[in-house]
Structure formats: structure tokens, C-alpha cells
Amino acid sequence: MPSRRAALRLLAATAGAVVLPAPVFAQARHSYDLRPEPVLPGIWMIEGSTEYFSRENGGAIVNCAVLQGQTGLIVVDTGSSRRYGEALSATLRKLDLRGVSAVVNTHHHPDHYFGNQVFADRPIIALGGTMEAARSNGDAFSDNMYRLLGDWMRGTEPVPPNTVIASDEVQIDGRRFTALPLAGHTEADLVLVDAETGLMIAGDLAFLDRAPTTPHADLATWQASLDTLQAVAAPAILPGHGPLDRTGASLRQTSAYLTWLSETLTEAARTGQDMVEIMATPLPAEFAGMGAQPEEFHRSVSHLFPALERAILPRAN
């Protein structure tokens, strides 16, 4: 096979100029630029990109919440790689020299917990279902994340949560929360409501201006969880992806999108469309502008449509 170097030599000879070949396997030095923004007294948000995982964004697509505890900082969700966790740890020492005292994982998706490795000697708190799902899916997630993110993932090993949270009223490093054990985005989705400020940390039950993801979703259960969250009437919501929400728009938008997704796929199954036809259908304007579209819609079609189709179509024999 002709090498790139040989091709460049040929090009140089043809052009009569000296061309120095670029190093083919040069590795860019990647680093995360994490910026905690104060959102409420004693609370910061690190806002992720609303794109899908890529080698450009290094998987920094998730929101992290940072709250002042009694002996350090409480971090909710730790990003998608060891390197992200290291950047988080270093950045947060600038806010509180004592660093991170406790970690919470809202659910078992890798962009929310693969930074845990850096905090393995501290309490890493989650629902029991999240701990189990992280244990059983960690290796498969890891393979996929290496494929998507390459060098950003170097040295990353999935570290599941180590502490199961109680429900209702809890204290984490002296800070009081209401813990809501919900589900629907995955089989175990934790929502924390901060007692002091009312901030709701919704994990991936709420997305804002970024398409919801559905690889482990149960849409009806998710809608029921959104009803529960609406009833809390929180003054501010930190969604799993997208900007801070002070109006409840993230809950309404996520619900509207899931309703549309369910109706669209059900109708497609009833009228005998196949996945390629559904994917070719333009998205309504209100959903087309969300981050990671139409890719996320296409992924949802492949996650959700086969089962829906089996449920609706009469079996051939």
C-alpha cells in the first residue's frame, strides 16, 4: 500500500517544492477547560456541550453540579473520563482548597460517572440500581467510549458508586437534600433537591435545548417521573444536559419531546414504515433545533422502534 510519506514525496517532486510530511500519528495534547459558574449561593454549575460525544469535545457533554459541603465540595456527576475527573478535581480546588468531599452519580450513563476513578477513596453516592447497572455495564460502556473518544479516555477505568443513598431527607457532607428515587431515563434515576436553595438537580430526566437520549429509556415511566418533578415546583432546575433552567422549561420540553417521539414511532409502526423511512422524516421545528439532532432522533428510532413494531404489528406466524 503506498504510504502517505511516498504520496507526499511524489507531490513534492511534481510541484518542484520541498514538502515536509506531517507526522501522521501525532497526538494532540487534549485538556478539558472546565469553568464552574456560580448559579446560586454556594452552588456552581459546569455546563457541558450540547453535542454528541466527539474527539473534538472529549466527551465534555454533561452538566456537573458543585455544592459547598461542610468539609469540602459535593460534586454531582463526574464526566466521561479519568482525565475529566482530574480536571474537575484540579479546578474545584480553586473554589475550595479542601477539594471534593463527596460525589453523587445521578445514573449509570458513562458521561455521568467515568470521572469517578479520581474520587475512588471518597463516598460515591447513588441509587442501588445505579450501582448495579454501573457494575454490569461498565466494561461495555468503556469499550464504546474508547471508540468514540480515543486518546481522551487513556487510563480510564469505570469505577461504580460505592455508597447507596437513602430516599427522602438525606445529608451529604452536612448539606441537606431531598433525594427522589425515580426512573424512566434509565432503570434508576436520582434527583436531588437542595434544601437551602430549592435547586433541583434532575440528571438526565431533564434535558434543555438538547435532544434527550433513550438507550435505556422507558418512556411511560419517564413521563411519570416528569410529572413528579413538575409537582416539586423548584425555583431552578439543573438538567443533565443544557443550560440552567429557572422556568421549568426543561421538564415541559423533555415531556413534549418524549410524547412526540412515542406518537411518531407508534404511528410509523401502525402504517408499516421502516426505520429508514422514519429517519428520513423531517423533525418538527421545535425539536429540530435541539443540540445533537437529528442524530439523537435516529438513535432513538433504533433503540425504541423494533420493540414497538413487534408490539403493534400482527405476527406473521
- Minimum distance, C-beta of residue 115 to Zn ion, in the bound complex (Å): 15
The piece of 67-75, 105-113, 128-136, 248-256 that touches Zn ion (CB under 5 A) is 105-113
The piece of 23-31, 54-62, 95-103, 197-205 that touches Zn ion (CB under 5 A) is 197-205
The piece of 202-210, 218-226, 241-249, 292-300 that touches Zn ion (CB under 5 A) is 202-210
Which grid coordinates belong to 22? 506531517
Comparing CB distances to Zn ion, the nearer of 204 and 245 is 204
The piece of 94-102, 103-111, 158-166, 278-286 that touches Zn ion (CB under 5 A) is 103-111
Comparing CB distances to Zn ion, the nearer of 109 and 122 is 109
Nearest 5°: the CA angle 157, 124, 147 is 25
Comparing CB distances to Zn ion, the nearer of 194 and 204 is 204
CB 199 within 8 A of CB 43: yes
Q: Is 216 in the site for Zn ion (CB under 5 A)?
A: no
Q: What residues does 172 pair with on adjacent strands?
A: 175
Comparing CB distances to Zn ion, the nearer of 32 and 53 is 53
Instruction: Cell 435541539: give the residue.
Output: 290
Comparing CB distances to Zn ion, the nearer of 68 and 137 is 137
Q: Is 204 in the site for Zn ion (CB under 5 A)?
A: yes
Q: Is 210 in the site for Zn ion (CB under 5 A)?
A: no
Helices 295-312 and 249-270 sit at what angle, rounded to 10 degrees? Answer: 50
Which grid coordinates belong to 36? 464552574
Size of site (CB under 5 A) for Zn ion: 2
CB 241 within 8 A of CB 291: yes
Instruction: Cell 477539594: give the residue.
Output: 99
Comparing CB distances to Zn ion, the nearer of 109 and 175 is 109
The piece of 37-45, 163-171, 199-207, 264-272 that touches Zn ion (CB under 5 A) is 199-207
Q: Is 109 in the site for Zn ion (CB under 5 A)?
A: yes
Comparing CB distances to Zn ion, the nearer of 268 and 292 is 292
- Minimum distance, C-beta of residue 133 to Zn ion, in the bound complex (Å): 11
- Minimum distance, C-beta of residue 111 to Zn ion, in the bound complex (Å): 7
**What is the rounded radius of gyration, in angstroms, for the C-alpha atoms of the chain?**
22
Q: How buried is residue 196: exposed, middle or buried, by Cβ count under 10 Å (0-12/13-18/19+)?
A: middle
Taking CA atoms, 14 is separated from 6, 17, 267, in Å, by 12, 8, 59
Using CA atoms, how far apart are residues 203 and 222, in angstroms rounded to an integer? 12
Q: What residues does 194 pair with on adjacent strands?
A: 177
DSSP 74-126: EEE---SSHHHHHHHHHHHHTT-TT-EEEEE-SSS-HHHHTTGGGGTTS-EEE
- Minimum distance, C-beta of residue 186 to Zn ion, in the bound complex (Å): 6
Instruction: Note the residues at the interface with Zn ion (CB under 5 A).
Output: 109, 204
